[in-house]
Structure 1
Amino acid sequence: MYYQGVLRKMQTEFAEPIQYFLILENDFLNLNQILGKTLSLEFIKHQCLNCGLNKPIYRQGFCKSCFFDIPQAADWIMRPELSTAHLDQEDRDLEYEKKVQLQPHVVYLANSSNVKVGVTRKTQVPTRWIDQGAHEAIEIVEVPNRYLAGITEVALKDHVADKTNWRKMLKNDIEDENLVEWREKLKQFIPDEALDYFIASNTETNILFPVNHYPEKPKSLNLEKETSFKGRLVGIKGQYLIFEDDTVFNIRGNEGLVVKITID
């Protein structure tokens, strides 16, 4: 049995464990159901998620020309503090920017490889935490726009990490932390503009991933370079497929690749 289509980040359903779905043009796969089975991955071509052309993927699933043109790839996506829609100032497309930036955003603490601070739209809770491979997370503030979330994250980055160590996350080399205590400790560093939005009541969200075996020395698969790979699927965490031989494949990091997937 085989499937073919352009890779987009796996869709998830919050359950115990998390349910993972790979959505293709004409099919979808519940990946939890094929744990323990052998998968073959074959690189076919590129397909930019914006223009659809067979052009090398530059970043975030987009070809280079689209990446530097479309609002979905503007700098404020990765750096929320650069958001300007609340000032009625356009970056690339003010209508799009207002739609995305002028909605509730959450600043959170997540523990995947270490405690880190991050920003996401409220509608992306807990999806964002799942995508990062966090086994526990908690909200700090809920603000009405992306800019306020961004300046809060910048202020807190001086006191807590803002990056995930993907190898440590995949090895499950983690320690449980008291995120409520972390939140209270960081409250003093929240900017005045966002302090009224501090959340004092929420408890931690705990996340269980469908992993039968964690890799001891995870090695990342470059499917464009190797063109094909075959291995037994033993786990899924974050946006990574984990195989029996310690190979890991980042689905989100390979968005825009058209692949053929064969299940033995």
Structure 2
Amino acid sequence: MHNEGNIRKMKTELSEPVKYKLPMGDNLVDMNALIGQKIKMNFDGRINCISCGKKTKTSFGQGFCYSCLQTAPEASESILRPELSKSHYGIARDMEWAEKHDLIDHFVYLAVSSEMKVGVTRVHQIPTRWIDQGASYAIKLAKTPNRHIAGIIEVFLKNHFTDKTNWRAMLKNEILKDFDLAAEKQKVVDLLPGELKKYVDPANEVTQINYPVEKYPITIKSLSFDKLPEIEGELAGIKGQYLIFEDNRVLNMRKHNGYYLSLSY
């Protein structure tokens, strides 16, 4: 079989295990079905910006041309640092976009992979966000009416939790042991100042996430189409937005948003 086209990050569905589909041009490739098979991917040098669609020699910020990196609302600084969002003041690169993406409900959450981390995501991005970062367990912590307040809570909690995922440990399936997410959530609630406590989500449901991996890597060698235009090997599994090959090589698909690839299997 053969597919080709500009790719986007893999679409996911919380299932047992997670289901992955790779957007490739106009097609959606069932990646779970390829686990255990030999696949070959080729990059012909074409990259199209995921915002404006124009060809770009270099991809910035996981898929943007340089111009869109500077101007597109989906590439603004508040994407990585929600506390910097000023949409609630009517200030944004594109207020129409912000009304649909910043001025909506957001969740602050605790997620567990090799360690416990705090994060922020839009309400409709759960559980997608947890899956994309390779979390094994997650719990909603607070629900806020906009991105800025969620970011303020996250910044406050960075004194107690990391906001980064150790991607190498995550891919080796090194999962934190002996924790109680509901108890950790209560500790967090106790830490929050009064004006932020009102946003705490009362539900204590813990989501467990299992990934379609037959063999986890022992050591990790990261692959990139920028250095290797042809990547071939037996697919051993998928976790986060990474393809894991049976020989300890891993490929971050999200990093290659907008790349024109061909896939044979």
TM over 0.5: yes
For 2:31 and 2:55, the matched residues in 1 are separated by 27
Cα distance, 1:25 vs. partner?
2.0
Aligned residue in 1 for 2:255: 253
For 2:69 and 2:100, the matched residues in 1 are separated by 19
Aligned residue in 1 for 2:42: 42
Cα distance, 1:14 vs. partner?
1.0
Alignment of 1:85 with 2:90, yes or no, is no
For 1:122 and 1:99, the matched residues in 2 are separated by 11
For 2:72 and 2:176, the matched residues in 1 are separated by 40
The residue correspondences of 1:121-200 to structure 2 (distance < 5 A) are: 121-176=122-177, 177-200=179-202
Cα distance, 1:139 vs. partner?
0.6
Cα distance, 1:201 vs. partner?
2.8
Partner SS, residue 154 of structure 1: helix
For 1:167 and 1:240, the matched residues in 2 are separated by 11
Deviations 1:151-196 (A, max 9, x none): 0000000111110000000000112321111111111332433211
The residue correspondences of 1:37-116 to structure 2 (distance < 5 A) are: 37-44=37-44, 45-55=46-56, 56-88=58-90, 90-116=91-117
Can you give the 5+ residue segments of structure 1 that lack an aligned partner in the other structure? none
Query: Which is worse superposed, 44-53 or 108-117?
Result: 44-53
Contact kept? 1:155, 1:191, Cα under 8 Å: no
Contact kept? 2:106, 2:143, Cα under 8 Å: yes
For 2:144 and 2:92, the matched residues in 1 are separated by 21
Partner SS, residue 9 of structure 1: coil
Q: Which amino acid letter does the alignment assign opposite residue 191 of structure 2?
A: F
Q: Which amino acid letter does the alignment assign opposite residue 189 of structure 1?
A: L
Contact kept? 2:116, 2:176, Cα under 8 Å: no
Query: Which is worse superposed, 107-116 or 92-101?
Result: 92-101
Can you give the 5+ residue segments of structure 2 that lack an aligned partner in the other structure? none
Alignment of 1:12 with 2:12, yes or no, is yes
For 1:79 and 1:87, the matched residues in 2 are separated by 17
How many percent identity over aligned positions?
Answer: 45
Aligned residue in 1 for 2:240: 238
Deviations 1:37-78 (A, max 9, x none): 111111121111122222111112001111101111000111
Structure 1 residue ranges, 4+ long, deviating more than 4 angstroms after superposition: none
Q: Which amino acid letter does the alignment assign opposite residue 19 of structure 1?
A: K
The CA RMSD over aligned residues, in Å, is: 1.1
For 2:26 and 2:88, the matched residues in 1 are separated by 39
For 1:245 and 1:13, the matched residues in 2 are separated by 26
For 2:73 and 2:242, the matched residues in 1 are separated by 26
Cα distance, 1:259 vs. partner?
0.8
